[in-house]
A = this chain, B = another copy of it.
C-alpha cells in the first residue's frame, strides 16, 4: 500500500503539470478568470478521475499521452461541478477542503463564470486533438459529454436537489449516485479504455468495474461522514445527518453499509479478471479507496 501511495503521488504530479499548462494565466484584461479557475483546480483534489482514466488506458495497452487531455478535461468538469454545487443557491458551502469556496474568495458572479469556463475549457482541450484516430477521439468526446450532461452528472444533481429533505428509497439513492457521481467515474474508465485501443468486450468489462467502484466509493464516502477523522477528511463529521442528507448509512445503517462497500469493491475487482496482471494497479487502487480514511 505504501507503493500505491507513491505511485499516486507521481500520477497526481504528472496530471497537475498538464492542468497547469492548459490553465496558464494570460496577460490580458480577463486574467482574473484564470486565477479563479486555477484556485479551484489546484485546491488539493485527489485526481481520482484522471488517474482512473490513465490507468485504464495503460491497462488496455494504450499510451497515457493520448489520453491526458481527456483526463484533464474530466478533472475540469469535476471541478466546475463542485464550484457550482457550492454556490449560495445550491449547497451554500463556504468551505471546501478547508479553504474558502470560489464564491467566497472571488464573489458569486466570478464563481459562476469560473465554473462555466472550466466546463468550456474541458472541450477546448479535448478538441485540440490532432492524432491519427479522429473518429475515436470524437467518440471519446461524446462519451465525456454524455456522462457530464443531463443523462449523467447534471441529471443526478437535479434528482439530488429534488429529493432534498424527502425520504427516498435505496433504488432512488442508487439512481441518484449512478448519475451524480457514477457517470463521470464510468466515463473516466471507458474513455481511458477506448483511447487505449480496447476491444468492445474490454470496454464492457472496464465499464462494469467503474460502475461497481463508483457505488463502493460513494458508500465509503457516506461511511466516512460518520466514522471519519475531521482533520483527515477536511470537513466536520456528521454533516450529512445534520443536513438530513440521503445516505447509505441513513438508509441501511452503518454495518450494512460497510458490507455493501466491501461487496461492490469485490465485484469491481472481479470485473477486471480478463486483464490478468495488467489490472494490478486498478485492483490495488480499489482496495486503497475503500480502506481510505479521507
Name A residues whose Cβ lies closer than 8 Å to a Cβ of B.
Answer: 26, 28-30, 32-34, 37, 80, 84, 87, 89-90, 103, 107-110, 112-113, 115-117, 119-121, 123-124, 127-130, 134-135, 137-139, 141-142, 144-146, 148-151, 154-159, 161-162, 172, 175, 179
Within 8 Å CB of A90, what residues of B? 109, 112
Do A119 and B117 form a contact, CB below 8 Å, given A110-B158, A146-B124?
no
- In the complex the two chains form, is A149's CB within 8 Å of B112's CB? no
Within 8 Å CB of A113, what residues of B? 84, 154, 157-158, 161
- In the complex the two chains form, is A89's CB within 8 Å of B116's CB? no
Chosen A-B contacts, 26 in total, with CB atoms closer than 8 Å, are A29-B159, A29-B175, A30-B150, A30-B151, A30-B155, A32-B162, A33-B150, A34-B150, A84-B112, A84-B113, A89-B112, A110-B158, A113-B157, A113-B161, A115-B116, A116-B116, A116-B154, A120-B145, A120-B148, A120-B150, A123-B141, A123-B145, A127-B138, A130-B138, A134-B137, A138-B138
- In the complex the two chains form, is B134's CB within 8 Å of A138's CB? yes
Q: How far is the CB of A194 from chain B (nearest CB, A)?
A: 13
Copies per complex of this chain = 2
Partner of A154, one of B120, B139, B175: B120
Within 8 Å CB of A103, what residues of B? 89
Partner of A121, one of B112, B139, B149, B156: B149
Q: How far is the CB of A84 from chain B (nearest CB, A)?
A: 6
Secondary structure dominating the interface of A:
helix
CA distance A205 to B49 in the complex (A): 43
Extra contacts, 6 of them, besides A30-B151, A127-B139, A130-B138 (Cβ < 8 A), are: A29-B158, A110-B161, A120-B150, A134-B137, A134-B138, A137-B138
Within 8 Å CB of A127, what residues of B? 138-139, 141-142, 144-145
CA distance A135 to B34 in the complex (A): 29
Within 8 Å CB of A112, what residues of B? 84, 87, 89-90, 112
> Which chain B residue has the least Cβ–Cβ distance from A121?
B149
Within 8 Å CB of A149, what residues of B? 117, 120-121, 124
